Structure 1
Amino acid sequence: MSQKNGEGAPVAQEKINTDIVTLTRFLTEEQSKHKEATGDFTLLCHALQFSFKSIAYYIRRASLINLSGLAGSSNSTGDDQKKLDVIGNDIFVAAMRTSGKCRLLVSEEEEKCLVFDENPKARYAVVCDPIDGSSNLDAGVSVGTIFGIFRLAEGSQGKQEELLLPGSELVASGFTMYGASAQLVITMKGGNVNGFTMDNALGEFILTHPDMKMPKSRAIYSVNEGNSLYWQEEVKEYFNSLKYPIEKSGKPYSARYIGSMVADAYRTLLYGGIFAYPADKKSPKGKLRILYECAPMAMVFENAGGQAVNSRMERMLTVVPEHIHDRSGIFMGSYDEVQKVIDVHKKHGH
């Protein structure tokens, strides 16, 4: 009850939401929608969730205990230290091995595909970049984990060649961004895109962005213009058209480039626009890995209503990697923005 003269004004009541959808609850409810579900996929996702929570914890502590920087550097006494990119990989490997549901694991940090022979009946394969953007860690810039899940064919021999698949074969994909808070974005094949935020007090990922949909267009572009010297003519023409619009009334696009793929992709997913890392004369194949960077991101963007293509303007999800660490150029973002790239390339006969 408020009193006269403004004395003793009522204290704002905090509205407490008691019906919280955690990632664990979300996965359990998803499982119950599929009569044929055995629970294996759900258990695998729980193991993934543990990896993300662990990495988020270590990243928060990193600057305190000198974990940032890259593997191979040593501390003041000359001892080699386990750096975050190595720790992230070790966490992933242990979680997937002990989940009992993962047969194959491809990691950016491992030259070869890891085969878990202790789980011969496991039906899933996981592909991941455990800490994408680790070179930015020392500057406190957001880094992230990108992941994809494949279901192995019946009679799988557990060989890495079985994973040379297009992204259209992914059963689920997503990424976690370790920023001011840990954000997890996940999508299933043909499903919606859902965003979760880590609540450190509860130690749980909470559903905060249900059914994410990208704006159809937005005047923002995200690309490393330092590489423009090496770009193909059509790529230069496209980006120049954004910066120097022909119409008198046209405003130039805003540039936003962080340099951590996950952070740039997450912003593009939320606000719209385009993220690009084109193949160029210096990297004719492109820089980003098809299997565990491009394909999982492309699935997220398509399921959110966007588009993703490679530098040959092929739909990213149809591209088959030649080997597990094969690379590609990529353009992904709002539907209309990616369409503009495709149109410029068509004009050049691509």
Structure 2
Amino acid sequence: MSKRVSLTQYLVEQQRVDGHIPSQLRLLLEVVARACKSIALAVNKGDLGGVLGTASSENVQGEVQKKLDIIANEVLIEANEWGGHLAAMASEEMEGIYLVPNRYPQGEYLLLFDPLDGSSNIDVNVSIGTIFSVLKKPDNAPGVTEQDFMQAGAKQVAAGYCVFGPQSTLVLTVGDGVAMFTLDREKGSFVLTREHVEIPPDTKEFAINMSNMRHWDEPVKRYVNECLEGKEGPRGKDFNMRWVASMVADVHRILTRGGIFMYPWDKRDPDKPGKLRLMYEANPMGWLIEQAGGMATDGRQRILDIQPTKLHQRVSVVLGSKNEVERVTQYHLEADKPAPSA
């Protein structure tokens, strides 16, 4: 791009020129972006800022929190609570919703976020990130309750993530494709570096935690085994496996060059439909993937059609290049069919 376009200019054009977003949503997204810059600074300081290591506490999921988990959560709340754009927030790190304090004006949007995805990678200097999703508060609803957040992913009005790696990159959709913005540290602003992102429908890369293979359901084993058989197998091509253990990093790779990411249900905890959270991870990532021409399912149905019933609901996730996700989904549906009677 000969002329660099800032995030602010991009959002103004989405609002004023293309009519995709109202002004309040534009302002909200700018605040989220500023919070991501603050988190990026804390991440980059690492040991110099005393932010590495655990915090001797657990989140609502029973997971040990890292210091940066807590810092990122606080940064997002403090940045967003006073602007007048939000009615409430929900975070993977908090048990219930966070109501905007009465001393601040109340807005019409609901913000959900995973403040720092990929926490296991914090101390080893591997890419991590922040994921966010924006919903519209139901019209005429008095106050805000947890039920107001129970909206299918298809009702999102904005979603994105910021990956903190060699570059800090903000990836965003407002329902008009996917755009990527790189943080220019000299100017202190995000600038547009890619737009109209498209995921190729076919791929030779898959991402999954292979150490769990013995626990997978048969459709997942079938798909991965076919990939491992390479050119001599039914797929007729060699596959590479990639696994960063950070959803942000794995999805960013897929948006950049294609691939398939899978975090399926497994037999270790059969009562849980999956590991990842529907509201904080699967919905925003699923919408980004779809907006880039890919596909996202839970192995059987479109993720964005799932009706949430709990704030911290978990789900199985298969997303990425369309033809590969369709194949995995087909294998699940075939396995669900009753065996023919004798």
TM-score computed with the length of structure 2 as normaliser: 0.90
Match of 2:289 among 282, 301, 307: 301
- Residue segments in structure 1 that go unaligned for 5+ positions in a row: 1-15, 74-80
Query: Separation in 2 of the partners of 1:57 and 1:321?
Result: 34
SS at match of 2:75: helix
- Corresponding residue of 2:61: none
- Corresponding residue of 1:110: 94
Query: Separation in 2 of the partners of 1:37 and 1:173?
Result: 12
Is 2:37 the counterpart of 1:53? yes
Contact conserved, 2:42 with 2:49, CA < 8 A, in 1?
A: no
Q: Deviations along 1:105-138, whole A, 9 cap, x unmatched?
A: 0111111110114256410000000000112111
Deviation at 1:251, TM superposition (A): 2.9
Matches within 5 A, 1:268-283: 268-283=254-269
Matches within 5 A, 1:219-230: 219-230=204-215
Contact conserved, 2:52 with 2:66, CA < 8 A, in 1?
A: no
Match of 1:204 among 189, 195, 219: 189
Deviation at 1:249, TM superposition (A): 8.5
Is 2:63 the counterpart of 1:100? no
SS at match of 1:308: strand
Match of 2:312 among 300, 325, 328: 325
Q: Deviations along 1:149-202, whole A, 9 cap, x unmatched?
A: 00112112311111111100100101110001101110013x110011111111
Q: Deviations along 1:280-316, whole A, 9 cap, x unmatched?
A: 11233111000010000000000000000003x1100
- Residue segments in structure 2 that go unaligned for 5+ positions in a row: 58-64, 338-342
Match of 2:274 among 286, 289, 310: 286
Deviation at 1:240, TM superposition (A): 0.5
Query: AA paired with 2:159?
Result: S
- Corresponding residue of 2:62: none
Evaluate the alpha carbon distance shift between residue 153 and residue 198 of structure 1 in structure 2; reply closer, same or farther with a 3 A threshold: same
Match of 1:259 among 224, 238, 245: 245
Query: Separation in 2 of the partners of 1:131 and 1:38?
Result: 28
Query: Separation in 1 of the partners of 2:220 and 2:22?
Result: 47
Contact conserved, 1:151 with 1:171, CA < 8 A, in 2?
A: yes
Query: AA paired with 1:236?
Result: K
Deviation at 1:35, TM superposition (A): 5.8
Deviation at 1:349, TM superposition (A): 2.8
Match of 1:42 among 18, 22, 26: 26
Is 2:333 the counterpart of 1:349? no
Q: Deviations along 1:254-292, whole A, 9 cap, x unmatched?
A: 001111110011001111110000011123311100001
Contact conserved, 2:286 with 2:295, CA < 8 A, in 1?
A: yes
Is 2:118 the counterpart of 1:130? no
Contact conserved, 1:105 with 1:113, CA < 8 A, in 2?
A: yes
Query: Separation in 2 of the partners of 1:117 and 1:59?
Result: 28
Aligned structure 1 segments of 4 or more residues deviating by more than 4 angstroms:
34-38, 245-249
Give the number of the structure whose alpha-carbon radius of gyration is greater.
Answer: 1
Evaluate the alpha carbon distance shift between residue 36 and residue 210 of structure 1 in structure 2; reply closer, same or farther with a 3 A threshold: closer
RMSD, aligned CA: 1.9
Aligned residues: 325
Query: Separation in 1 of the partners of 2:229 and 2:99?
Result: 51
Evaluate the alpha carbon distance shift between residue 33 and residue 249 of structure 1 in structure 2; reply closer, same or farther with a 3 A threshold: closer
Query: Separation in 2 of the partners of 1:102 and 1:113?
Result: 12
Evaluate the alpha carbon distance shift between residue 218 and residue 82 of structure 1 in structure 2; reply closer, same or farther with a 3 A threshold: closer
Deviation at 1:36, TM superposition (A): 9.4
- Corresponding residue of 2:67: 83
Contact conserved, 1:62 with 1:84, CA < 8 A, in 2?
A: no
Query: Separation in 1 of the partners of 2:20 and 2:334?
Result: 48
More displaced 10-residue stretch of structure 1: 340-349 or 90-99 = 340-349
Match of 1:192 among 159, 177, 180: 177
Query: Could you tell me the percent identity over the aligned residues?
Result: 35
Deviation at 1:82, TM superposition (A): 8.4
Evaluate the alpha carbon distance shift between residue 281 and residue 25 of structure 1 in structure 2; reply closer, same or farther with a 3 A threshold: same
Query: Separation in 2 of the partners of 1:38 and 1:143?
Result: 30
Deviation at 1:33, TM superposition (A): 2.7
Contact conserved, 1:168 with 1:317, CA < 8 A, in 2?
A: yes
Contact conserved, 2:82 with 2:100, CA < 8 A, in 1?
A: no
- Corresponding residue of 2:150: 164
